[in-house]
Structure 1
Amino acid sequence: MTTTTKSNGQWAVDGRAPLNPNEVFKAADGRPLDVRERVEKIYAVEGFDSIPDEDLHGRLRWWGLYTQRKQGIDGGRTGSLGPDELSDRYFMMRVRSDGGALTTEQLRVIGRISEEFARNTADVSDRQNIQLHWIEIEAVPEIWRRLEAVGLMTTEACGDTPRVILGSPLAGVAADEIIDPTPAIREIVDTYIGDPELANLPRKFKTAITGHPSLDVVHEINDLSLVGVVHPELGPGYDLWVGGGLSTAPRLAERLGAFVPPERAAEVWYGVVRLFRDYGYRRLRNKARLKFLLADWGTARFREVLESEFLDAPLPDGPAPAPSTSPGDHVGVHEQKDGRRYVGLAPTVGRLSGLSLLALADAAEASGSSRLRLTPHQKLVVLDVEPEKVDALLAAAAPLGLTANPSPFRRHTMACTGIEYCKLAFVNTKDTARETIAELESRLAGVELDTPISLHVNGCPNSCARIQVADIGLKGQVAKAADGSDEFAFQVHLGGGLASDERDEAGLGRTVRGLKVLASDLPDYVERVVRGFVAEREAGETFSTWVARADEGALR
């Protein structure tokens, strides 16, 4: 009896015949990036109703646009309605800021766009982007014009493309920096972002590059990461990691054991992206991320194919990065290598506004700064602050909801967009997280915590807020009450973390079997678990270590 192996849709193996609807629309009617011309010439002129479905729910993502959730649709209907029923006539727009880098001029432009076109919305995501909401298609060409006039773009901020590149917020300014990743990020963006040859990947492709010893770009959960190291013979460069990603099938990235000299960083990035394009799985969309290919191939084969088919020459072996010795969120006031200060400011779960962006730009410039960085932890860092003007900056930031000295819970809590705007979400995340922070600040004010406890709140299983690598990760879902009605609750993951959390190694959280925590009960639950940890921990024990050995009853 003969058996046949089903094609995985790998271009280099199976050919380019599209095997699912997503692959069909990407291959049809020109390239996905071509939708920009239709936006400018047709949709912005004729309005929302002129946009065909494959552009509306597909190709517009290549320019950073998703339809946002229609208001008034509760989470119990998220899984039963189609995209047209869930979608409003407005868009979320993601403004791309590679490396999180923004000038005060750029910040003002985004702030004014927010005021004029986005109902004063502006959220800092954990991908170092700013997201705007309530965008109408008629306004998009003018928004693009304003962004591009100051060097910003929305190109490939979404879609099956190379997404925004995470970069160290301290690039070029930290005294303890191993290598400045700015040249590598700039070369990749200038050379390859918007290249049609890289604009049809099997799924999204996420990149992170850092040269800072705090390991501040969550490198373990990206498709490709370059992490600063010093080779004993070749000097500073990067350690190469591939195949990380979370969502419903979380997997941490793995080292290839290869050292990337700084002058080869863009070449190696280009090689890995093309390997993913040509060998990535395209038959089943839920198996199309690079992590699935790496899981099947292993690191040895992956490196061999990369070097033999996609690089100009093999890479030398190299060392692993040292463990992080400082927090990767960079909150607080710190000295730069030039004697000035960088000031890390924490909003509440990334929520800002256009007006606050404008005021922050003014405050930064008054302190001597003309540039800021967003972080992968929903924070902002103002660079180049004159030492004598730090206090004035902190005073100006406070009324904007920004602080360099946040409570532990405000500092270490993140939340995704949630049901407010996201079509995939089951629960409200931003408000739930904000209310929980306020309760915990009051209830646990007298509790001494010498180790951070991160709380990540996500509205659906896709883990945009990185629930599996949080100390306390919460996945929104619908539960049934005793009377059969819908209750909005969270599944709990405990004890996850990344190297940037000053752990010895990254790890995925432990799911507490059968535990569902209602949103209304969330402060009670977190308080109970934190108090249990404080009472039971051994000397110097981290939360994740305690979770790994704790009785399940203590985690409920």
Structure 2
Amino acid sequence: MSDLRYTAQPATRTEIPRPKRGEGQWALGYTEPLNKNEQSKKDDSPLNVRDRILHTYSKRGFDSIDPADLRGRFRWMGLYTQRRPGIDGGKTAVLEEEELDDRYFMLRVRSDGKLLTPATVRALGTIGVDFARDTADVTDRENIQYHWIRIEDVPAIWERLDASGLHSLEACGDSPRPFLGSPVAGVAQDEIIDGTSALEEIERRYIGNPDFANFPRKFKTALTGHPSHDVSPETNDVAFVGTVHPEHGPGFDVWVGGGLSTNPMLAQKLGVWIPLDEVPDAWQAVASIFRDYGYRRLRSRARLKFLVADWGVDKFREVMENEYLGRELVRCESPASPTGHRDHIGVHDQRDGNKYVGIAPTAGRVSGTLLVQLADLMDEYAVEGARLTPYQKIVLIGVDPAVVDELLDRLDAIGLSARPSAWRRNTMACTGIEFCKLAIVDTKNRARDLVTELEKRFPDLDAQVPDGITVNVNGCPNACARTQVADIGLKGQLVMHDGEQVEGFQVHLGGATGLEANFGRKLRAHKVTSAGLDDYVTAVVTNFLADREEGERFATWVARADEELLRGDKTLAGAS
């Protein structure tokens, strides 16, 4: 069986010292499987599992599924078994995976920055209603995520997705994960360059391509031509960020090696200029480096960020140019990092005279029914389409200015507000223990309850802090909700309270992307129980409002604040 390694000959081989201990890098001759994941991929290309789902498993049922497919190759089709109900967080790291498995699946559907027509939004909604017990979540990778999916229903779901121009191929697995594209591509007045065509071409060339279906681990892509950097480029494996060359005009810089989880690293900037039509070639070069030189021996080091950290940006660029592109890249100073919102919530001008409208589901939780209702409103008000955002939001594109006010009222009525509170706007949450086998605590419901309580306790925060305070809630250390780059990042874990283990969180404070990019401040031995979360956040925000300097942002305040104020051990009076 082929190891799926790309076979094209490099233009020039860069001298790469052979490490004393092999890290499983194909390009250095370490091609033998080094763990069960690598063995599984060598035994059979994960792309082949699609036919088994269509022709065998969906007809014979859950019990017919080969375990190697169920807990491995299914991920390349966007399918994970979800967590069996009733298993508490204390069992997450104790039980074997098969003991955590339910007989139902989570299904991720890629949007890849596409403009979703009203008919497509309706199809996504009816899938939730008909096959997923009315579930549907907007994720921070611009996916729609369903739960309670039966294997018998997957072919019918795929048919509806295909008819709508969407799919779930390689939405999970050691593959090119769903792309993040600017939600306002092609319409924003201040856009530097529209990268839509590049994302479409990358998808056409490489998704489902066997040469790019076996990476050491997941490979996350982001692309934006908007100056707000609205796709969190700092936290992706590869990001293309709009820039302007003094002679060549608009194009893209390349950032590599971003990622969070237990070893967070911000992407490093190559400082180059790439024209729009060469972005897919540059993507292939970066992806090929990861495939050929990425570390496969240990799963804990099998992300591009570790290779970039070891090599450094100059060597990475050299290998990219010499071995994979066969030419030197144009140098260009990297674009300046922005501050402020990146989510496009509210009403904004388009370059064609229409408006785009950003709306905010709470913590990304929607439903099939809600998506159908949204599609109805899009049809009724002749909205061109919708895009999902990396902040669990939705942006409606092409709204006639004459209908905006009426549309906003109708959106409020179904719970998708374009004028949400600062708390509703700025809170994200991962799937959590409700469905995820890796989670330790509840997240979605806890985040929604937190938002409701903070709206009562700080009703005027919007006026006091125009940018708001971001709260990201994660159910485990994997940081799917980007906890380390939030103002208040909450990482789920079990904590001791009155002699018992209860759900709680480790707290990260003052994280940020953009101009003040950092991973925030962890307070030594500081944990907060889930039950005490409302009071803790209240204490910290109260202290910020009382102690901040005029115009000071939360992250800046955290960096200088006394620890007792951050722990909530002391609460200041006179917040303003």
TM score, norm. by length of structure 1: 0.97
Q: How does 1:429-508 map to 2 (within 5 A)?
A: 429-447=443-461, 448-483=464-499, 485-499=500-514, 504-508=515-519
Are residues 4 and 336 of structure 1, via their aligned partners in 2, closer, same or farther at CA, if it must alter by over 3 Å?
A: closer
Q: How does 1:301-316 map to 2 (within 5 A)?
A: 301-316=315-330
Tell me which of 517, 531, 534 is aligned to 1:520: 531
Deviation per CA, 1:441-494, whole angstroms, max 9, x where unpaired?
A: 1011245223421000000000000000000000000123333x3211100000
| TM-aligned CA deviation for residue 144 of structure 1 | 0.8
| TM-aligned CA deviation for residue 213 of structure 1 | 0.8
Deviation per CA, 1:403-430, whole angstroms, max 9, x where unpaired?
A: 0111111110000000000000111001
Tell me which of 61, 65, 69 is aligned to 1:55: 69
2: distance between equivalents of 1:194 and 1:286? Answer: 25
2: distance between equivalents of 1:268 and 1:164? Answer: 17
2: distance between equivalents of 1:255 and 1:297? Answer: 13
User: Is 1:197 equivalent to 2:208 in the alignment?
Assistant: no
User: Is 1:418 equivalent to 2:429 in the alignment?
Assistant: no
Aligned to 2:558: 547
Q: How does 1:123-522 map to 2 (within 5 A)?
A: 123-324=137-338, 327-447=341-461, 448-483=464-499, 485-499=500-514, 504-522=515-533
Note if contact 2:192-2:226 (Cα within 8 Å) is conserved in structure 1: yes
Amino acid at match of 2:520: G
Deviation per CA, 1:102-126, whole angstroms, max 9, x where unpaired?
A: 2211111111111110000000000
Structure 2 residue runs without a partner (length 5+): 1-17, 568-576
User: Is 1:22 equivalent to 2:37 in the alignment?
Assistant: yes
User: Is 1:13 equivalent to 2:28 in the alignment?
Assistant: yes
Aligned residues: 548
| TM-aligned CA deviation for residue 399 of structure 1 | 2.5
Note if contact 2:79-2:108 (Cα within 8 Å) is conserved in structure 1: yes
| TM-aligned CA deviation for residue 6 of structure 1 | 1.8
| TM-aligned CA deviation for residue 326 of structure 1 | 5.3
Aligned to 2:86: 72
Aligned to 2:547: 536
Amino acid at match of 1:18: P
Note if contact 2:340-2:467 (Cα within 8 Å) is conserved in structure 1: no
1: distance between equivalents of 2:107 and 2:161? Answer: 12
1: distance between equivalents of 2:216 and 2:392? Answer: 28
Please give the secondary structure, in 2, of the residue aligned with 1:15.
coil
When structure 1 is superposed on structure 2, of 30-39 and 396-405 the one drifting more is 396-405
Please give the secondary structure, in 1, of the residue aligned with 2:202.
helix
CA RMSD of aligned residues (A): 1.2
Please give the secondary structure, in 2, of the residue aligned with 1:414.
strand
Please give the secondary structure, in 2, of the residue aligned with 1:493.
strand
Report % sequence identity. 56
2: distance between equivalents of 1:115 and 1:312? Answer: 50
Note if contact 1:470-1:497 (Cα within 8 Å) is conserved in structure 2: yes
1: distance between equivalents of 2:104 and 2:384? Answer: 32
Note if contact 1:491-1:517 (Cα within 8 Å) is conserved in structure 2: yes
When structure 1 is superposed on structure 2, of 276-285 and 4-13 the one drifting more is 4-13
| TM-aligned CA deviation for residue 319 of structure 1 | 2.1
Note if contact 2:125-2:367 (Cα within 8 Å) is conserved in structure 1: yes
Note if contact 1:211-1:227 (Cα within 8 Å) is conserved in structure 2: yes
Deviation per CA, 1:495-517, whole angstroms, max 9, x where unpaired?
A: 00111xxxx23111110111111
2: distance between equivalents of 1:393 and 1:125? Answer: 24
Note if contact 2:23-2:30 (Cα within 8 Å) is conserved in structure 1: no
Please give the secondary structure, in 2, of the residue aligned with 1:360.
helix
2: distance between equivalents of 1:125 and 1:210? Answer: 18
